Chain A
Amino acid sequence: DAKTTQPPSMDCAEGRAANLPCNHSTISGNEYVYWYRQIHSQGPQYIIHGLKNNETNEMASLIITEDRKSSTLILPHATLRDTAVYYCIVATDNNDMRFGAGTRLTVKP
Protein backbone atom coordinates (compact mmCIF):
# COMPACT_ATOMS: atom_id res chain seq x y z
CA ASP A 1 0.00 0.00 0.00
CA ALA A 2 1.14 3.51 -0.78
CA LYS A 3 2.29 5.42 2.29
CA THR A 4 1.10 8.77 0.93
CA THR A 5 -2.18 10.60 0.42
CA GLN A 6 -2.69 12.94 -2.52
CA PRO A 7 -5.77 14.68 -3.92
CA PRO A 8 -7.04 12.78 -6.97
CA SER A 9 -7.12 15.82 -9.23
CA MET A 10 -6.20 19.51 -9.44
CA ASP A 11 -6.43 22.28 -12.01
CA CYS A 12 -3.99 25.10 -12.59
CA ALA A 13 -3.97 28.07 -14.94
CA GLU A 14 -1.17 28.22 -17.48
CA GLY A 15 1.68 30.45 -16.28
CA ARG A 16 0.66 30.21 -12.63
CA ALA A 17 2.39 28.15 -9.96
CA ALA A 18 1.05 24.64 -9.41
CA ASN A 19 1.25 23.51 -5.78
CA LEU A 20 0.71 19.80 -5.33
CA PRO A 21 0.28 18.59 -1.75
CA CYS A 22 1.18 15.20 -0.28
CA ASN A 23 0.57 13.80 3.17
CA HIS A 24 2.94 11.19 4.55
CA SER A 25 2.18 11.18 8.26
CA THR A 26 3.80 7.78 8.91
CA ILE A 27 7.12 8.64 7.28
CA SER A 28 10.14 7.31 9.18
CA GLY A 29 13.45 9.03 9.72
CA ASN A 30 15.34 7.33 6.93
CA GLU A 31 12.67 7.65 4.24
CA TYR A 32 13.01 10.08 1.38
CA VAL A 33 10.17 11.88 -0.38
CA TYR A 34 10.25 11.33 -4.16
CA TRP A 35 8.15 12.96 -6.86
CA TYR A 36 7.60 11.50 -10.31
CA ARG A 37 5.14 12.42 -13.02
CA GLN A 38 3.57 10.41 -15.81
CA ILE A 39 2.22 11.86 -19.00
CA HIS A 40 -0.47 9.70 -20.57
CA SER A 41 0.80 6.33 -21.83
CA GLN A 42 4.46 7.15 -21.16
CA GLY A 43 6.90 5.98 -18.51
CA PRO A 44 7.10 8.03 -15.30
CA GLN A 45 9.64 10.83 -15.21
CA TYR A 46 11.68 11.63 -12.11
CA ILE A 47 11.20 15.18 -10.86
CA ILE A 48 12.86 15.67 -7.50
CA HIS A 49 13.45 14.10 -4.09
CA GLY A 50 14.43 15.18 -0.60
CA LEU A 51 14.94 13.99 2.96
CA LYS A 52 14.21 16.98 5.19
CA ASN A 53 15.56 20.11 3.57
CA ASN A 54 13.75 21.95 0.81
CA GLU A 55 15.08 21.13 -2.63
CA THR A 56 15.02 22.92 -5.97
CA ASN A 57 16.06 21.90 -9.44
CA GLU A 58 15.34 23.06 -12.98
CA MET A 59 11.94 21.39 -12.97
CA ALA A 60 10.44 22.08 -9.57
CA SER A 61 10.81 22.88 -5.89
CA LEU A 62 10.05 20.51 -3.03
CA ILE A 63 8.97 21.92 0.31
CA ILE A 64 8.97 19.45 3.23
CA THR A 65 7.40 20.48 6.53
CA GLU A 66 9.57 20.51 9.61
CA ASP A 67 7.83 17.44 11.07
CA ARG A 68 8.19 15.76 7.63
CA LYS A 69 4.57 14.64 7.68
CA SER A 70 3.69 16.48 4.51
CA SER A 71 5.28 18.06 1.49
CA THR A 72 4.42 20.24 -1.49
CA LEU A 73 5.73 20.04 -5.02
CA ILE A 74 5.81 23.43 -6.71
CA LEU A 75 5.92 23.92 -10.47
CA PRO A 76 6.67 27.66 -10.58
CA HIS A 77 5.21 28.49 -14.00
CA ALA A 78 2.97 25.67 -15.19
CA THR A 79 2.65 25.04 -18.92
CA LEU A 80 0.21 22.89 -20.85
CA ARG A 81 2.95 20.26 -21.12
CA ASP A 82 2.93 19.88 -17.34
CA THR A 83 -0.49 18.20 -17.55
CA ALA A 84 0.20 14.75 -16.09
CA VAL A 85 -0.34 12.46 -13.12
CA TYR A 86 2.04 13.38 -10.29
CA TYR A 87 3.13 10.70 -7.83
CA CYS A 88 4.45 11.37 -4.35
CA ILE A 89 6.36 8.41 -2.89
CA VAL A 90 8.17 7.82 0.36
CA ALA A 91 10.84 5.13 0.40
CA THR A 92 14.11 4.22 2.02
CA ASP A 93 15.46 3.27 -1.36
CA ASN A 94 14.15 2.65 -4.79
CA ASN A 95 13.45 -1.01 -4.12
CA ASP A 96 10.69 -0.02 -1.76
CA MET A 97 8.85 2.47 -3.96
CA ARG A 98 5.07 2.32 -3.91
CA PHE A 99 3.26 4.33 -6.56
CA GLY A 100 -0.29 5.19 -5.51
CA ALA A 101 -2.93 6.70 -7.78
CA GLY A 102 -1.27 10.13 -7.71
CA THR A 103 -2.76 13.55 -8.50
CA ARG A 104 -3.99 14.26 -12.01
CA LEU A 105 -2.90 17.86 -12.71
CA THR A 106 -4.62 19.62 -15.58
CA VAL A 107 -3.07 22.88 -16.73
CA LYS A 108 -5.64 25.05 -18.48
CA PRO A 109 -5.01 27.87 -20.96
Chain B
Amino acid sequence: DGGITQSPKYLFRKEGQNVTLSCEQNLNHDAMYWYRQDPGQGLRLIYYSQIVNDFQKGDIAEGYSVSREKKESFPLTVTSAQKNPTAFYLCASSKAGGDTQYFGPGTRLTVL
Protein backbone atom coordinates (compact mmCIF):
# COMPACT_ATOMS: atom_id res chain seq x y z
CA ASP B 1 0.00 0.00 0.00
CA GLY B 2 1.86 3.05 -1.26
CA GLY B 3 1.77 6.43 0.38
CA ILE B 4 3.28 8.95 2.73
CA THR B 5 3.42 8.32 6.44
CA GLN B 6 4.01 10.80 9.20
CA SER B 7 4.38 9.79 12.78
CA PRO B 8 3.25 10.37 15.39
CA LYS B 9 -0.10 12.05 14.71
CA TYR B 10 0.16 14.07 17.94
CA LEU B 11 3.40 15.12 19.61
CA PHE B 12 3.97 17.04 22.82
CA ARG B 13 7.28 18.59 23.86
CA LYS B 14 8.54 20.94 26.50
CA GLU B 15 9.75 24.38 25.52
CA GLY B 16 13.46 24.45 24.73
CA GLN B 17 13.65 20.87 23.46
CA ASN B 18 14.46 19.94 19.89
CA VAL B 19 12.02 17.52 18.28
CA THR B 20 12.23 15.54 15.05
CA LEU B 21 9.17 14.79 12.93
CA SER B 22 9.23 11.75 10.71
CA CYS B 23 8.16 11.60 7.05
CA GLU B 24 8.51 8.46 4.94
CA GLN B 25 7.25 7.71 1.43
CA ASN B 26 7.27 4.52 -0.61
CA LEU B 27 6.10 6.15 -3.84
CA ASN B 28 9.63 6.33 -5.26
CA HIS B 29 9.24 10.11 -5.48
CA ASP B 30 12.32 12.27 -5.90
CA ALA B 31 10.96 15.48 -4.35
CA MET B 32 9.76 15.97 -0.77
CA TYR B 33 8.41 18.99 1.11
CA TRP B 34 7.62 20.22 4.60
CA TYR B 35 4.83 22.70 5.33
CA ARG B 36 3.53 24.32 8.46
CA GLN B 37 -0.14 25.19 9.02
CA ASP B 38 -1.50 27.41 11.78
CA PRO B 39 -5.20 27.41 12.76
CA GLY B 40 -7.41 28.90 10.05
CA GLN B 41 -4.44 29.58 7.80
CA GLY B 42 -3.05 28.14 4.61
CA LEU B 43 0.16 26.13 4.32
CA ARG B 44 3.61 27.70 4.41
CA LEU B 45 6.65 26.02 2.92
CA ILE B 46 9.48 25.28 5.36
CA TYR B 47 11.96 23.21 3.31
CA TYR B 48 11.95 21.15 0.17
CA SER B 49 14.27 18.61 -1.41
CA GLN B 50 14.33 17.72 -5.08
CA ILE B 51 16.89 14.95 -4.76
CA VAL B 52 18.79 12.95 -2.16
CA ASN B 53 21.48 14.91 -0.29
CA ASP B 54 20.08 18.24 -1.46
CA PHE B 55 17.48 20.56 0.05
CA GLN B 56 16.42 24.18 -0.17
CA LYS B 57 14.89 26.65 2.29
CA GLY B 58 11.28 27.64 1.84
CA ASP B 59 9.58 30.78 3.13
CA ILE B 60 9.86 30.04 6.87
CA ALA B 61 13.01 27.93 7.35
CA GLU B 62 14.30 29.76 10.44
CA GLY B 63 14.32 27.51 13.49
CA TYR B 64 14.00 24.31 11.43
CA SER B 65 16.48 21.85 9.94
CA VAL B 66 16.14 18.87 7.59
CA SER B 67 18.18 16.07 6.11
CA ARG B 68 17.70 13.91 3.01
CA GLU B 69 20.06 10.97 3.32
CA LYS B 70 17.62 8.50 1.76
CA LYS B 71 15.15 8.95 -1.06
CA GLU B 72 12.23 7.73 1.01
CA SER B 73 12.87 9.78 4.15
CA PHE B 74 12.84 13.53 4.88
CA PRO B 75 12.86 14.19 8.64
CA LEU B 76 12.23 17.69 10.00
CA THR B 77 13.79 18.91 13.24
CA VAL B 78 12.06 21.73 15.07
CA THR B 79 14.79 23.38 17.09
CA SER B 80 14.57 25.45 20.24
CA ALA B 81 15.29 28.50 18.07
CA GLN B 82 11.81 28.28 16.52
CA LYS B 83 9.82 30.87 18.45
CA ASN B 84 6.31 29.50 17.91
CA PRO B 85 6.65 25.79 17.14
CA THR B 86 3.11 24.73 18.04
CA ALA B 87 1.44 23.98 14.69
CA PHE B 88 0.23 21.29 12.29
CA TYR B 89 3.13 19.99 10.18
CA LEU B 90 2.53 18.45 6.77
CA CYS B 91 4.92 16.48 4.61
CA ALA B 92 4.41 16.00 0.87
CA SER B 93 6.18 14.32 -2.01
CA SER B 94 6.07 14.50 -5.78
CA LYS B 95 7.57 12.45 -8.59
CA ALA B 96 9.81 15.37 -9.48
CA GLY B 97 9.94 19.06 -8.69
CA GLY B 98 7.29 19.96 -11.23
CA ASP B 99 4.70 17.30 -10.51
CA THR B 100 1.58 17.02 -8.38
CA GLN B 101 2.24 16.87 -4.64
CA TYR B 102 0.76 14.17 -2.42
CA PHE B 103 0.43 14.87 1.28
CA GLY B 104 0.81 12.80 4.41
CA PRO B 105 -1.74 12.89 7.27
CA GLY B 106 0.22 15.47 9.26
CA THR B 107 1.69 15.73 12.75
CA ARG B 108 0.18 18.11 15.28
CA LEU B 109 3.01 19.43 17.48
CA THR B 110 2.24 21.10 20.77
CA VAL B 111 5.04 22.71 22.75
CA LEU B 112 4.16 23.25 26.39
Interface residue ranges, A against B (CB under 8 Å): 2, 34, 41-46, 49, 87, 92-95, 97-102
Contact = CB atoms under 8 A, between A and B. Distances in A.
A97 B103 contact: no
B31 interface: yes
Given A94-B94, A94-B100, A95-B50, A100 B42 contact: yes
Given A43-B90, A99-B43, A94 B97 contact: yes
Given A41-B108, A45-B103, A93 B42 contact: no
Contacts of A101: 40-42
Contacts, number: 54
Contacts of B106: 41-43
A42 to B, nearest CB: 6
Interface of B: 4, 31, 33, 35, 40-45, 48, 50, 56, 88, 90, 92, 94, 97-106, 108
Main secondary structure of the interface of B (DSSP, over half): strand
Given A95-B48, A99-B43, A101-B42, A49 B90 contact: no
Main secondary structure of the interface of A (DSSP, over half): loop
A21 B70 CA distance: 40
A98 B97 CA distance: 15
